[in-house]
Chain A
């Protein structure tokens, strides 16, 4: 059974710092991995999707990497801003099912 874990569970940093959020999964037979952002009381916004054959994806200040063999992904946020404060979720696609991690709650203070 696929299990997805995210570390740390919560993170509080001053504005301007570069951040790394971690995601690990137990079954490497995945089709893709997706990072989502969730603001309080809101739905899920897809940030980046990495296919199983890819090593990384970039969008603006965000960079996500994937090491399928070791069951790990990282989300790198450069020059963090208060507007980045949210919960970040990673999810892996096994067959047709998207399995979510536990999330990292990020707070960036001015």
Chain B
């Protein structure tokens, strides 16, 4: 299996623009997680899905952030409008039997 695949790997965008990050989990995994990593706050869980259903979105910072999982093989994390403080690395992870596997991350810079 190719592992968890995230795109884009790097994105630089201007403040106010919409950003969409994508994730393809490992086939057969039933849970998917979105994390954000910053120097100040470390790795924070934003939201997670179980069997494509959002279970806990308490980590989503504000209404500008939204996440969807339309099917078992695809998820998106959207930021609209983006702000400079959203600059971070966004990781997607999928899990099966309580073992998590992480993607390589999406490096987002908002200028």
Contact = CB atoms under 8 A, between A and B. Distances in A.
A79 interface: no
B104 A42 contact: yes
Nearest to A36: B102
Contacts, number: 48
Given A34-B100, A46-B101, A96 B42 contact: no
Given A43-B91, A46-B101, A98-B33, A89 B43 contact: yes
A96 B50 contact: yes
Contact of A43 (B33, B56, B103): B103
Interface residues of B, number: 22
Interface string A34-73: 1010000111101001000000000000000000000000
Contacts of B42: 100-103
Contacts of B91: 43-44
A32 interface: yes
Contacts of A42: 104-105
Interface of A: 31-32, 34, 36, 41-44, 46, 49, 89, 91, 93, 96-103
Interface of B: 31, 33, 35, 42-43, 45, 48, 50, 55-56, 91, 93, 95, 98-105, 107
